[in-house]
Amino acid sequence: MKILSYIVLTTAFLSLPFSFAATSFAKSEEHGHSIHWSYEGEYGPEHWGDIKDDYSKCKGGESQSPVGIALTDKVKLDSICFNYYETPLKIINNGHTIQVNYGRGSTICIGNKQYELLQFHFHNPSEHKINGQSYPMEVHFVHKGEDGKLAVIGVLMEEGKSNEFIKTLWNNLTKEEGKVNTVTDVKINASQLLPKNTAYYKYDGSLTTPPCSEIVNWHVLKTPIEVSKAQIDRFASIFKKSARPIQPLHGRVVKESE
Ligand SMILES: [Zn+2]
């Protein structure tokens, strides 16, 4: 009897680390980052392209994001129409950022093209720079078109007055990674995070995280929104840094709405 319980205990003990490993692997697979990458050190942005073959665009791509926006081509651009609806709050710490997953049916239109809002998430500091200036944070609204292409709206966040919408999000965020926190009694509308003026810069680019796929129509709004220093600090207490450095334009021209 004693021997048996010894074996059971030993087996249980030995299998513990393996089952832990398996669980965390499955967890990260689920959120699309099966291989470890980070914003600093050994697995930082300058090494993303070497982590695995699928990430090769991160070092060999010629339409990468983010970019520094300075010289632009001022032209008449279609205005963006936003049709965002209220959705129950679904918020997740995916290990790289705080992301809010959006319910079906909210869309934007640009010209005759329509894209559906999938999620929005944050970066610290901003990924895009305007005339060399970086902002404390940036939010990305990720939309998908019928052709599989993404339209991402980037909104720069500057230090100013406290933001009520951010307050609601931060009240429900968690340090625990990989678990969606569904808060059914809290309804949100992403349009509350948009500035009134939605004039924008536009260029063709990529995902700013591995696999750095070059499938994104970028629209960076010219007008930032305000958040308080305490709100910026709260995010930074979970993610010290979550921004990829500026990528070369390789001849791309950024368009700016007049
Ligand atoms: Zn992003």
> Is 20 within the bounds of a domain?
no
Q: Is it the case that residue 2 has pLDDT exceeding 50?
A: no
Strands (E), 124-165: 129-130, 137-145, 150-159
The secondary element (H helix, E strand) that includes residue 2 is helix 2-30
Distance separating alpha carbons of residues 255 and 183, to the nearest angstrom: 39
Give the tens place of pLDDT for each residue, 207-247: 999 999 999 999 999 999 999 999 999 999 999 999 999 99
Q: Indicate whether 46 belongs to any domain.
A: no
By C-alpha distance, which of 125, 98, 141 is closest to 245? 125
The CA 151 to ligand 1 mean position distance, Å, reads 12
Give residue 26's pLDDT band: very low, low, confident or very high (50, 70, 90): very low
* Tokens at 164, concatenated: 């009520």
Q: 45: CA distance to ligand 1 center in Å?
A: 14
* 88 Cα–ligand 1 center, Å: 22
142 located within any domain: yes
Indicate if the pLDDT at residue 248 is higher than 90. yes
% of the chain with per-residue pLDDT over 90: 83
* CB neighbours of residue 137 within 10 Å: 25
pLDDT of residue 35: 61
What's the whole-number mean pLDDT along residues 132-151? 97
Percent of the chain with pLDDT over 70: 86
Residue 193 lies in a domain: yes
In this model, does residue 19 exceed pLDDT 60? no
DSSP state of 146: T
40 domain residue, yes or no:
no
pLDDT at 27 over 50: no
Tens of pLDDT, residues 34-61? 568 999 999 999 999 999 999 999 999 9
> How many angstroms is it from 197 CA to the middle of ligand 1?
21
Q: How far apart are CA 91 and CA 101, in angstroms?
A: 6
* Amino acid 106: pLDDT: 98
Total count of domains within the chain: 1
Domain range enclosing 132: 60-257
| C-alpha span between 46 and 245 (Å, rounded) | 9
* 22 Cα: distance to centroid of ligand 1 (angstroms): 28
pLDDT of residue 9: 37
pLDDT the model gives residue 202: 98
Determine the distance separating the centroid of ligand 1 and the alpha carbon of 246, expressed in angstroms.
13
**Domain annotation covers residue 45:** no
d(CA 134, CA 147): 32
What H or E segment, with its residue span, contains residue 8?
Answer: helix 2-30
Residue 41 lies in a domain: no
What's the pTM value of the predicted model, to 2 decimals? 0.86
> Is there a domain that residue 201 lies in?
yes
CA of 41 to the centre of ligand 1 (A): 20
CA of 76 relative to ligand 1 center, distance in Å: 26
Residue 112 C-alpha to ligand 1 middle, in angstroms?
25
**pLDDT beyond 70 at 30:** no
Q: How far is the CA of 113 from the centre of ligand 1 (A)?
A: 22
Residue 145 has pLDDT above 90, yes or no: yes
Distance 121 CA to ligand 1 centre (A): 6
> Domain of 142: which CATH number?
3.10.200.10
* Tally of CA atoms within 13 A in the half-sphere of 75 that contains its CB: 11
Tokens read off for 213? 């796929």
Residues in the chain: 258
Q: What does the alpha-carbon distance between residue 250 and residue 217 come to, in Å, rounded to a whole number? A: 16
Residues surrounding ion ligand 1 at CB below 5 Å: 140
Smallest CA-to-CA distance from 254 within 199, 208, 204 is with 204
